[in-house]
Amino acid sequence: MPRKLNISTLTRGFAILALGVSLASVNASDLPSMMVLSSSEDASGTTQDDLTMPMLAWIERRSVEQVKAKSQAYLKAHGQNDPLPKLNSEAHYVTVGKTKLAVVRVTAPKIANIVFINGLRAAEFHRVACVRTRDIDESIPLFYGPCAERIRQVFGVSLEQAR
């Protein structure tokens, strides 16, 4: 018989697997309150002009699907087969100079708070993932702090400039 859905295990699963990393030996209390990682892949000819509303909808769906799939795999590996709680998402573009970034927020109250920042730099499509591991319902700031710093490193822009 599967164990009842454990919120702390689920929260840890969102925090760890949404980022695509394995921290099995790390206690949740040892994690920083926010984890920030980035990845990139070849843009396959995609340009700033391709960042349209249909593309934004696709990026949002892809982000939510990846969070769900990785979280379900994490829970299954920990003997939990209950369905995931409903994930809420919202997406919008932010333009700074000539750089257009797709910002996707994925949340579930008291369980998950993740922001993905997606965009192009040179011939690569980059993704920054900012995940709250504690104080889940607190906002993830994009103008200051570790997430803002990674956005500056990866995309060469500050979202404060978009204000």
Tens of pLDDT, residues 62-73: 999 998 888 888
Give the dihedral sign, CA 95/58/119/129. positive
Measure Cα distances from 99 to 51, 93, 118, 154 in Å. 10, 10, 11, 12
Whether 7 has a pLDDT exceeding 80, the answer reads no
| DSSP per-residue codes, 50-81 | G--HHHHHHHHHHHHHHHHHHHHHHHHHTT--
pTM passes above 0.85 = no
- Domains of the chain: which residue ranges? 7-162
End-to-end CA distance of the chain: 52
Tens of pLDDT, residues 74-101: 888 878 887 888 899 999 999 999 999 9
Average model confidence (pLDDT) across the chain: 83
Task: Compute the distance between CA of residue 30 and CA of residue 136 in angstroms, rounded to an integer.
Answer: 15
